[in-house]
């Protein structure tokens, strides 16, 4: 998979690649490939930089907070999908695994709460100490509901835009066609440069 990512990045002379912390090594491999090629054939590829969010670079499963949240998880309650409806999102957070404590506090061994605090922080911009003060004296039930609601509220505009786009199939076809043409032109420029430097084109 990392080797497949490299040409997808390099072909379009990418400057920055937004990734989660678990994919940073993929971009590092891509950088190594581009750097080595540029040493042999100067000024061929742009060396991409990985960029990650300050918080939330790795979101964990709602069902098993020791594992990364993954869309391929067989347990649908473990992951929030972008197009989940509001009730489904809130229900999933209400069922999120926590611990036997009742204190909303970021600490070692509190993987479930740490994960929910990270998610809440991403959506609200609040630091962990602010979150701890906000939910001081309140139980996990209140906190999980709040996380679910802020997630659902944040995804609502995405849902609305998705519905709007899906209602205009002709418009989508036009955008895809134009995007394919733009991508093809960009890829052709890079591929031509590579072939010329390798001596495949006279």
- For 12-30, write each residue's pLDDT tens digit: 999 999 998 888 899 999 9
Q: Is the four-CA dihedral 9, 15, 21, 24 of positive or negative sign?
A: positive
In this structure, are residues 54 and 133 in contact, taking their beta carbons and an 8 Å threshold? no
Q: How many CB atoms lie within 10 A of CB 123?
A: 17
pLDDT of 201 strictly over 80: no
Mean pLDDT of the chain: 94
- The residue among 29, 1, 23 whose CA lies nearest residue 10 is 29
In this structure, are residues 55 and 115 in contact, taking their beta carbons and an 8 Å threshold? no
- Percentage of the chain surpassing pLDDT 70? 99
Per-residue pLDDT of 89-126, as tens digits, reads 999 999 999 999 999 999 999 999 999 999 999 999 99
Separation of alpha carbons 4 and 53, rounded Å: 24
Number of alpha carbons in the 13 Å side-chain half-sphere of residue 10: 26
């Amino acid at each position: 998979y990392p080797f497949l990512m490299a040409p997808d990045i390099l072909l379009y002379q990418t400057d920055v690649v937004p990734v989660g912390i678990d994919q940073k090594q993929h971009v590092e491999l891509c950088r190594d490939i581009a750097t080595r090629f540029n040493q042999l054939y100067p000024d061929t590829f742009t060396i991409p930089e990985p960029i990650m969010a300050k918080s939330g670079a790795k979101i964990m499963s709602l069902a098993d907070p020791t594992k990364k949240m993954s869309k391929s998880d067989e347990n649908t309650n473990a992951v929030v999908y972008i197009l989940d409806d509001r009730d489904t999102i809130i229900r999933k957070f209400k069922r999120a695994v926590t611990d036997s404590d009742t204190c909303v506090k970021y600490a070692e061994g509190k993987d479930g709460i740490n994960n929910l605090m990270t998610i809440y922080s991403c959506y609200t911009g609040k630091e962990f100490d602010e979150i701890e003060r906000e939910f001081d004296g309140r139980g996990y039930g209140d906190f999980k509901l709040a996380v679910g609601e802020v997630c659902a509220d944040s995804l609502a505009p995405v849902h609305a835009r998705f519905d709007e786009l899906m209602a205009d199939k002709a418009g989508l076809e036009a955008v895809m066609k134009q995007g394919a043409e733009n991508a093809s032109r960009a890829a052709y420029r890079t591929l031509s440069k590579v072939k010329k430097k390798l001596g495949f084109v006279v």
